[in-house]
Amino acid sequence: MDNQINQDKNMKIGWIGTGVMGFWMCRHLMEAGYSVTVYNRTKEKAKGLLEMGAKWADTPYGAAKEADIVFTIVGYPKDVREVYFGESGIFKSCAEKGGKYLVDMTTTEPSLAVEIYEKAKETGCRALDAPVSGGDVGAREARLTIMSGGDKDVFDKLLPLFSFMGKNIKYTGKAGTGQHTKMCNQIAITGIMIGMSEALIYGYKAGLNLEDMVNTIKGGAAASWSLENYGPRILKGNYDPGFMVEHYIKDMGIALEEAKRMNLNLPGLTLVHQLYTVLKAMGHGTSGTHSLVLALDKLSGAGFAEKK
């Protein structure tokens, strides 16, 4: 199978999760010539892949049954657990046929990543945790950052496939370290999102041309991926998700639990987690993370959200 991974485009792939990011990631593999069987809770979200020639499976087990490699990117840790350990899950297929490679690209609990890794070994399979960063734009343009934990030899074998989905692809160490690295990513973003949002509100209240302001500061020390990609969306009042608020709340919750386990106090993360919880309560759970500006605007009373 090693030669298949690197050379044989007829190798069978199972793909579970065709949401905002998973759809594009799977599509890139199909465009590269790989045969894919997909499963998603909502079949309609896989329609574009099915029209391209993907096969449909009614369960995670069905997507994994004949696959050499199974990729998963779903919503929450409970979803990950269900697609791997459930009655119609991936490990049922591993018990019938070993030798599979399992790659969970969901952002989930590091301890769950280790559990999957160990169960995979028990069933004669190999597993990596490989969460991603880059949002819908990174997924669509195959420019994701991929952070992968597990055995280095498995990472090296799967690197050619990762290269169809991302540009910044890193091996992070033993099982679970990919998820810990993603937690660092999510923690770092909290400061960027609140800073960007407050800068826009401040600029609005000061009477600045916000487009000019963003174009000015994004070329200096305030430059960030979020300002570059989300700033223009905010100015257009477009809060469609590149990454959903409710999923980010989940990620921050995992990071806070891990911090608690390590006896760490992270006040910045705690504050932003609370602000996003307010945002969700305002009805923006399925909006993009850049909609944080709406909660901060409400708290500040600036009136930014009502601007034309």
Rounded Cα gap, residues 264 and 181, in angstroms: 16
pLDDT of residue 13: 98
Task: Tell me what the mean pLDDT of segment 54-66 comes to.
Answer: 98
pLDDT of residue 10: 74
Q: Which of 72, 97, 100 is nearest to 84 (CA)?
A: 72
Residue 169 pLDDT class (50, 70, 90 cuts): very high
Task: Tell me what the mean pLDDT of segment 236-257 comes to.
Answer: 96
- Give start and end residues of each alpha helix (H) in the chain: 2-7, 22-31, 47-52, 60-64, 77-85, 90-96, 110-122, 135-140, 152-162, 177-205, 210-217, 225-235, 245-261, 267-279, 292-300
Evaluated on CA atoms 132, 87, 48, 155, the torsion sign reads positive
- More reliable by pLDDT, 136 or 101: 101
Residues contacting 64, CB < 8 A, separation 6+: 14, 16, 70, 90, 93, 94, 100
Least confident of 100-109, 150-159, 298-307: 298-307
pLDDT of residue 224: 95
Rounded Cα gap, residues 270 and 253, in angstroms: 9
Q: Which of 236, 251, 239 is nearest to 289 (CA)?
A: 239
pLDDT of residue 11: 86
* 167 carries an active-site annotation: no
Flag whether pLDDT at 210 surpasses 50: yes
pLDDT of residue 242: 87
Q: Which structure tokens are listed for 44? A: 């309609």
For the chain, the average pLDDT equals 95
Contact 164, 154 (CB under 8 A): no
Contact 128, 178 (CB under 8 A): yes
Residue 8 pLDDT class (50, 70, 90 cuts): low
Residue 90: count of CB within 10 angstroms of its CB: 32
Burial class (CB in 10 A: 0-12, 13-18, 19+), 45: middle
Residue 306 pLDDT class (50, 70, 90 cuts): confident
pLDDT of residue 160: 96
Residue 4 pLDDT class (50, 70, 90 cuts): very low
Q: Which residues pair with 35 in a beta bridge?
A: 12
pLDDT of residue 5: 57
Residue 290 Cα to chain centre, angstroms:
15
Flag whether pLDDT at 270 surpasses 50: yes
Domains in the chain, CATH or no CATH each: 2-174 (3.40.50.720), 181-300 (1.10.1040.10)
Residue keyed to tokens 């400061």? 191
Of the residues 182, 250, 260, 280, only one is catalytic, namely: 182
Residue 9: count of CB within 10 angstroms of its CB: 10
